[in-house]
Amino acid sequence: MILSARNITKSYPTAEGLLPILKGIDLDLDAGETVALTGESGSGKSTLLHLAAGLDRPDAGEVIVSGRDIGKLDDRGRAAYRRSDVGLVFQQFNLIPSLSVAANISFHARLAGRFDAAWERELTERLGLSQLLARYPEQLSGGQQQRVAIGRTLAARPPLVLADEPTGNLDEATGDAVLDLMLSLSKTAGSALLLVTHSARLADKLDRKVLLRGGMIAA
């Protein structure tokens, strides 16, 4: 098992007091498995993803990834975890505007110390980015930018990939193509995938679906 979340709770302070977002979530993910996390806006999907990514800590409960409770890691430990064990894909792409496409793709792998030129070449070819390597993010379309973001994540071959509505900013055809590529490449890389999506149609493409409602697992 690559990810195991147990009885996770998380609240955020607001002007009206603490707002509970997650109310005791249990979730498991096997190595290489792909899971779609669905639910309405405000149901806690992104929060759960952020906790699994080590970007934030749960108020209570355990997030075990590769046998380690990442909620108990200090700042340095969580930074090291994000570098080595997890890959993130966001709806807003969040590429680094100052780096070229090539540098963006290799950035995370080089930070993790796992840069593999042959794998990167294969990735860029399969993502259709070979002709765009010298360009900068602002010179790319939305679909191209998302493919660069996927390339950046998978170049490091992380055991766990977390994607937050990666096709939310793309049209249907482009979104389908991007997701297919992502699934295929994740399989090749041997990475498990936890993907947040609003789309039931896209969720159907993954191995399993988990529905969140009001901060709890509904199905």
Partner 1 sequence: MIWTAFTALLSHWRYRPLQLATLLVGVALATALWSGVQAINSEARASYDRAASVLEQNRFDQLLSRDGKGIAIDTYAALRRAGWNVSPVIEGDHRFGSVRIRLIGIDPLSMPAQARAFPISGASDLAGFAGGTVLVVSPRTAERLGRPEGLKVNVSADLPDDAAFVDIGLADRLLGAGGALTRLVVGPDQRQGLPPIAQIAPGLALQPAGETPDVTRLTDSFHLNLTAFGFLAFVVGLFIVYSATGLSFEQRRATFRTLRALGVPLRSLTVMLVAELMLIALVAGVIGVVLGYFIASALLPGVAATLKGLYGASVPGALSLRPQWWAAGIAIAVLGTAVSSSQSLWRVWTMPLLSAGQSRAWARASAKALRLQAAAGLVLLAGALGVALLGHGLAAGFAVLGGLLLGAALLLPIVLSGALWGAERLSRGALTQWFWADTRLQLPGLSLALMALLLALSANIGVGTMVSSFRQTFVGWLDQRLAAELYVTARDEAEAARLREWLAGRVDAVLPIWNVEREVLGQQIQIFGVADDPTYRDHWPLLEGTADVWDRLASGQGALINEQMWRSRHLQPGQTIRMPGGWDVVVAGVYSDYGNPRGQVMIGLDALTRHYPDVTRLRYGLRIAPERVADFRRRLVQEFQLPNANIIDQAALKTQSRAVFEQTFSVTGALNILTLAVAGFAMFSSLLTLSGIRLPQLAPVWAMGVRRRDLALLEVARTVALWLATFVAAVPVGLALAWVLLSVVNVEAFGWKLPIAFFPLDWLRLGGVALVAALISVFLPVRRLATVSPAGLLRIFANER
Contact footprint for partner 1 (CB under 8 A): 12, 41, 46, 50, 53, 55-56, 75-76, 79-84, 88, 90-92, 94-99, 103, 106-108, 110-112, 164-165, 168
Nearer to partner 1, 111 or 177 (CB): 111
Nearer to partner 1, 76 or 118 (CB): 76
161 φ, ψ to 5°? -110, 130
Distance of closest approach, residue 186 Cβ to partner 1, in angstroms? 18
Distance of closest approach, residue 2 Cβ to partner 1, in angstroms? 18
Distance of closest approach, residue 205 Cβ to partner 1, in angstroms? 20
Nearer to partner 1, 37 or 90 (CB): 90
Distance of closest approach, residue 83 Cβ to partner 1, in angstroms? 3
- Residue pair 37/5 in contact (Cβ under 8 Å)? The answer is no
Nearer to partner 1, 28 or 68 (CB): 68
Distance of closest approach, residue 24 Cβ to partner 1, in angstroms? 21
Distance of closest approach, residue 54 Cβ to partner 1, in angstroms? 9
Nearer to partner 1, 138 or 204 (CB): 138
25 φ, ψ to 5°? -95, 135
Nearer to partner 1, 28 or 158 (CB): 158
Q: What is the largest CA-CA distance in the chain?
A: 53
